[in-house]
Structure 1
Amino acid sequence: MEGCFHGIYYIMMLNLRGKVKNTLVVLGLLCLPLFVFSDTTKKMMKEGDKVFAVYYDQGGAETAREECTIPRNLQMTLTTLSYSPYYGIKSELKSGSIPDGAVKVFDEDGTLRLVETYKDGKRNGTVTSYFKSGKVSSNSFYADDKLNGKLTAYSRDGKIASEIEFIKGVIQNGNVYGMEANESMNIGEMLGRFAEKRRLSGKRILLVTDPENKDTAREIKLLFTERGAEVVTAGTVKKINEGDKGADILIAEADFQFYDIITFTCAPKSIDVNSDLGNTLRKSFNDGKVITAIGDAEAILARAGLLVSREAAKPEKETIEFELSKIQNLTFKEGVVVNDKIVTASGSKNIKDFVSETVKLFKMD
């Protein structure tokens, strides 16, 4: 692309009385060869049952389109997948051609998340991904569309999390988040699933439970912890020493404002849903907290006034269903229900989906 330099000059002219007069004259355009390489950007989109990676030039015109095959169980948005280069996504060119040079991927907020180097329609050269903060998430090198050389993945604090050596796409040695790397690993899916499981990294969860529902609480805590969250249990009995039965803190000691997710697994009788607690829960919800309940604990949300004119999971117990049926404009659905930032589940058989749907409310970094 060529740029042009605009020349503007003053010319001194004599008027009829012999006086010098300044006249502004635009001489025109002095065109100089300012070469600028335009960026190519990539976005992923879904059309029917198919997923495509679409490449655009700087003017927004489509230059190429690939059809993508995505591994199952990667619970990510298409935008997140588009800037995740090692997640085992396979693609096939359907139209156009990918220009040589840098291909950039941005997230919904316009933040740069990935830069790939292309030549002859394939990744050839460095690939760098970034966290939302702008810090480098990973560095790697490709040759003929295959990893070749060292892949280094970083944690958010800048420490090296994984280092793997490749030759023509085949793992030679290294480690993947503490596990020894070997050629039998599907490195893309492994890194992808690890990132998915760390979606709640840095998030704090208050898990309100009681002895009657300790098994449910234990399983939920494990699933949330696997996804990177810090889980604090609140209950009717507080453990004094490590190894004691009981919760980390008493329910009365819980300060809801310090948590991103508030989850109830306890029976309604275990907690006094007075006006103070109701106000606290409503304020927490209005402040953007995620409020969740499973089984009988749905009644706690109902008593706090959080289920009016909403959809909620149909409770397994008839007594709880009867209580909830009196809530104005409340409709029931089976299984797990997400309504705004409120997640409810019918019972313990829905634990995995209950946690999974809660996790989906948080974007991956």
Structure 2
Amino acid sequence: MDQQEIQKKIDELITQSETVIEEVFARRLKELLYMVSDIYRKYTVKGKDPSYTDLNKYNRLQKELELIKKTLNADYRAVVKTLESAQETIYIQNYLMAAYLLEMTAEEDMGFSLPSMETIQEAILSPIEFLTLPKVMENHRNELIRRIHIEITQGFIAGEGYANIAQRLQKALGFSQKKARLVARTEGGRTRSISSEAVAEQASKHTKLGKVWMSSLDLRVRMSHRALDGKKADAEGYFHYKGLKAKAPLLWGNAPMDIQCRCDVLYTVNGMLPQYRRGRNYMDEDYQKKLKERVNKYMDEGKTFLQAFKKADKEIKPPSKVFDYVTYDDWKDKFATAK
């Protein structure tokens, strides 16, 4: 296991929460379109589409809009519940895998214990009242309700047919779905960083830890994060950029630096990059020296830290070593027996 494998597994958990959000919005769009088609079915007279005046009689349209509001309230409660559950899963899974990797690499019991649910919930709660997950999603919900009301009302006032109003709703729901997915990815990444920092705080009591900023591989990385790529944290564990500081990605407290960030932190143990696999000595000093030299060489050629590390890791192989190998599942079992 290495830190890239942990990152990949956590990314899969984040993607799962995004998939649930897509399903919620797809179902809501389907039901909204059915509702609009039902309006046309009930109030079309002699082939003439219902007018806004017709629908305003007896508060017909208002009743339909109130029903939409109720269903969207339920949808967003489901989305918030999904994201909160995902955050808890991401925190504990990342915590256990990172703790396992550092303990096995350092070959030392670092005194890790299973975090309580109260500890997890307190850790992932945003310190800014208006940026808590329920508050953020409440604002998104209110914005979507307002936009749906506007699109439907304006469509009927303009005398548009079903196809045009359906197109309006599809666009409104698609925009809100993207925003909800953005929240899911941002909150998932923030939770991973908070969990990793909790692991690092405990591990640093037993070994010397360092941190290196690791940007994503593609060209979508913002310039500020590309500038941070490969940079080491200071003695207090902070990364710095133009007067801002953070201990990990998505912890800047600054929207342009945090939103949809896909960066991660690479931890070092006594100056060496931790990896742990059966039959290989990844902490061999000669191997680590050659690996660092090769990483630096590829970074000098313009590659990101992650690109350089992946390429060097394929080329530089650690020596064999005979030792008692502890699997992640076996190591994790000690927390189950400790309950």
Normalising by structure 1, report the TM-score. Answer: 0.25
Higher RCO (C-alpha 8 Å, min separation 6): 2
Normalising by structure 2, report the TM-score. Answer: 0.26
Which has more helix, going by share of residues? 2
